Structure 1
């Protein structure tokens, strides 16, 4: 007899989901029973860290990744991290153990009441199969849904007595299924868009995370060069989709309506590729676009297309559309934009380091193909100015702004990309939300480098307090944290830096080794 358990592991194996991230509870034990030797289970000590690690791993590989959570409580612990995964189009298959079917109705301990509703609206779909024989189909559907179209997390709740039930006949068809999405616009639509770009007097391009996710950075650069377009990164971008050293690159757009409109002044056509239009943050009223400016967006997400407050949208595959568009437009006679000047090196001053100095040292010492994971939110603009990011997949940030992303994500990304060095740059406030991931890095010897920017305060909140004219606000400082002691408690080597020289020495030591290292850097508030 083929059990549901056996059939589902065949599906997972054939679909390439052989790395699990999880924190098991009693409901999950029957699913994990007789764990196959060709699978690996990455244990995290908190569900938020588990989803953060899986988020980084799935984004870095580009493939669906399985997360195993515990009933309602484990799902609840993971919801903040799930918000980031939803906004970054991360293909996660999130399973959660449910009580036995006979006990759900009486709401026994560890029953997930109304399980399918719990994670919405942070997943593409959510389900609890109506019977055990439906579980393999539901799992297969979840995998293909997570990895197709606009990718994203899905949620599947499974009663734990289902796993040993007999699978239905015909279940073997599911393991080898493939689902493909053909998303190229029609020839007429491409011709019309190319005509608009060719006819524009001063076009500008805004690129977003889905360009990097589809490995289309080079295609975006080729289109920008052909049309001599300046290129901005979309506001609050969770990935870097354009080489920051390219002469067309203009930097990271701010996240306010009026500020974006001001920077787009003088451009008659704005082409947005692979990004929402736009992901605003602080409320800054103004016109969405300058007068006389037209906007066209190319997105893989119908939700992003329909919720944009202005412009036209084309829902299509990002990479193939950029390639076709690059072939369709004519090379312009306009001169290339002048390259942006890199900022002057920060002075080497005594006392806590200026963030600019930290980034200068990192940029000088890190490998050119290093991967940066950012959660020092108050210094994000400085990071974009000072770090040279030229390779695809070089930058990750919490797409929904949910803290606790960077430290776990750095672990997951390093696990997915062992040939590159991952450097997490994390604020001392942010680090506490995912600190448990240090244990996973130590336990599995995942050699990510974690740089903690320690200034004793929530810097982003202090900035926002100024924007909102909110004075005498409590809870903005986090003094007395010893990240070296915390790291060592989790089994990670820790180094303290209080000058440019000690930071350079610590970073040199960390990069020369092949184990996780945390560097606590004293920085200015």
Structure 2
């Protein structure tokens, strides 16, 4: 009779979940025993970095990633990073160790009391098997729920279960597959196509799911067929459209009133692959202008249900894009020339202006470079200088929680062999996931980190002005030298004194990870 561990390992292998991101404790060791030869264990030195790396890896590969955490303490350490994975709809399968069954009730040390409740409401599904024989089935449910919901799931397993016999029926799980079909029905598709075709001034809003689902180029074709303006949805974590395309109007502001203002004069707003909407700053007003109709198409049923306005169709955005391309009669509008990039300003004093940094990245690095960005105070400067025309070119912390950038960049690089990957990281955010540098060094991940150091939490300074709190304490972080920190973790690092030196360093070949620190002037997110 095979053990629970053996059946579970074989199931994971058949499902392609053979890369394990983790930081093990005693409860997890029995699961990790006898890992098959094809498995790879990626050790992170903090659970937040572990989950961030898995998030980046799953987004880059388009497949679920397996995360192994230590009981309640390790799971708790990962929860901040989990918020970003939830908001980006990343399918992660989190398996956590639990005390042996007889020790859970008495709350022995390392027992996770009511473990499934610990990660709720963040995860889409959480469970702890009622008996050892149910572990393989519950593990399969965690995998399938993650795929179906496009959301992290959580399974707590008592560590004495792994050695138990799996039972006569356990092998049935090995051949299971679960899929879904989400094309709109014939009548739904006809009505949607008619409404889009009848619109006099349609506008298109695209979400991160467009890029995550491989619809980047199809979205361009649809936009050119419609001929109207295109926005990225607020609080964007992936770029769904070339940012210098003549139809692109940028990322919508994350406030009710400015979003409504952007839609003035449009009779139809078609939202594909995004919630409606992920606001941030509280700027109240009408949700939509008078006479504007909004139609949302998303696979995320919860996002459709909670939207405060408009109509929603729960369907695969890809199927809808394909339908519209086939049914709309109008020929595609000529794209015209992509908008030129303005010359970057220079900063006063010794610091480099962030736009000079981004101009150097744009000019010196290959066009297919993927950027993982967590420098929140330089967002406006970023979009003024970058020219991103490829799918999978941009990743950002989806929930706004710091700590995704460095680990996410490591995960994206591991999941994108052969593609250049750059992490653009602010000094305020770098500290939240700094231990990911060690993992990058150990695995010789081909990755460039450009560290923007301005000595303060720049985005918070901007928010202080918005909220009328200009004198808030705790916003300055002087005295950090990330070149020395990186070298301590085994990553070669250099200081770029100015934009010219940065360009020269970027042009140098790199074998494995590297970090380039640049002292930058303080800018605002918008």
| Equivalent in the alignment of 2:151 | 152
Q: Which residue of 2 aligns with 1:103?
A: 103
Question: What SS does structure 2 have at the residue aligned with 1:175?
Answer: helix
- So what's the TM-score if we normalise by structure 1? 0.97
Q: 1:384 Cα shift? A: 2.3
Secondary structure of 1:356's partner? helix
**5+ long unaligned stretches in structure 2:** none
The 8 Å contact of residues 15 and 176 in structure 1, kept in 2 or not, is answered as no
Counterpart position of 2:514:
517
Alignment of 1:262-341 (within 5 A): 262-331=261-330, 340-341=339-340
Is this contact kept in 2: 1:64–1:91, CA < 8 A? Answer: yes
1:406: which partner in 2? Answer: 405
**Is the 2:234–2:278 Cα contact (8 Å) retained in structure 1?**
yes
Structure 1 residues 116-148: Cα deviation after superposition (integer angstroms, max 9, x where no partner): 000001111000000000000000111111112
Q: Judge conservation of contact 2:4–2:162 (CA < 8 Å) in 1.
A: yes
Tell me the alpha carbon deviations over residues 251-301 of structure 1, each in whole angstroms, 9 at most, x when there is no partner: 111111111111111111100100111111011111111111110011110
- C-alpha distance in 2, partners of 1:392/1:177? 32
Deviation at 1:341, TM superposition (A): 4.7
Q: Deviations over 1:80-100 (max 9, x none)?
A: 011111111101000000000
Contact 1:493-1:516 within 8 A present in 2 as well: yes
CA distance in 2, matches of 1:395, 1:523: 21
What is the Cα deviation at residue 381 of structure 1? Answer: 2.5
Please list the CA deviations of residues 213-232 of structure 1 after superposition, one character each: whole Å capped at 9, or x if unmatched. Answer: 11011111111111112111
Secondary structure of the residue aligned to 2:465 is: helix
The equivalences for 1:59-458 within 5 A come to 59-148=59-148, 150-331=149-330, 340-347=339-346, 351-458=350-457
Shift of 1:330: 2.1
With 156-165 and 386-395 compared, the bigger mean Cα shift is at: 386-395
CA distance in 2, matches of 1:418, 1:388: 22
Distance 2:64 2:360 in 1: 35
Gaps of 5+ in 1: none
* Partner Cα distance (2:333, 2:164) in 1: 68
2:89 and 2:151 in contact (8 A); partners too? yes
- Are 1:22 and 2:22 counterparts? yes
Deviation at 1:385, TM superposition (A): 2.7
Cα deviation, residue 345, structure 1: 3.4
- Alpha-carbon distance in 2 for matches of 1:336, 1:270: 20
Q: 1:471: Cα distance to partner? A: 2.3
Which whole-Å CA distance do the structure 1 matches of 2:255 and 2:190 have between them?
A: 33
* Offset at residue 307 of structure 1 (A): 1.1
1:475 equivalent in structure 2: 474
Secondary structure in 1 matching 2:406: helix
Q: Structure 2 CA distance, aligned partners of 1:514 and 1:262?
A: 48
Verify the 8 A CA contact 1:268 1:292 in the aligned structure 2: yes
Q: Is the 8 A contact 2:115 2:128 kept in 1?
A: yes
Residues 444-481 of structure 1: CA deviation (Å, up to 9, x unaligned): 10011111110000011011011111121000111100
Q: Say if 1:338 and 1:285 are closer, same or farther in 2 by CA, change over 3 A.
A: farther
Q: Secondary structure at the match of 1:330?
A: coil
Question: In the aligned structure 2, how far is the partner of 1:349 from the partner of 1:442?
Answer: 36
Measured after TM superposition, the shift of residue 339 of structure 1 is: 5.4
- 1:484-517 per-position Cα deviation (integer Å, ceiling 9, x unaligned): 01000000000101201111122222xx212100
How do 1:485-524 residues align onto structure 2 when only pairs under 5 Å count? 485-509=484-508, 512-524=509-521
Q: Provide the C-alpha distance between the structure 2 equivalents of 1:353 and 1:286, rounded to a whole number of angstroms.
A: 38
- Whole-Å Cα distance in 1 between the matches of residues 203 and 380 of structure 2? 20
TM-score, reference length from structure 2: 0.97
In 2: Cα distance, 1:452 partner to 1:258 partner: 34
8 Å CA contact 1:228–1:332 kept in 2: the answer is no
Q: 1:234 to 1:89 in 2, by over 3 A?
A: same
Separation in structure 2 between the aligned mates of residue 197 and residue 336 of structure 1, nearest angstrom: 20
How many residues get paired?
522
CA distance in 2, matches of 1:180, 1:493: 45
CA distance in 1, matches of 2:131, 2:182: 35
Q: How far is the alpha carbon of 1:344 from its aligned partner?
A: 3.0
Aligned Cα root-mean-square deviation (Å): 1.4
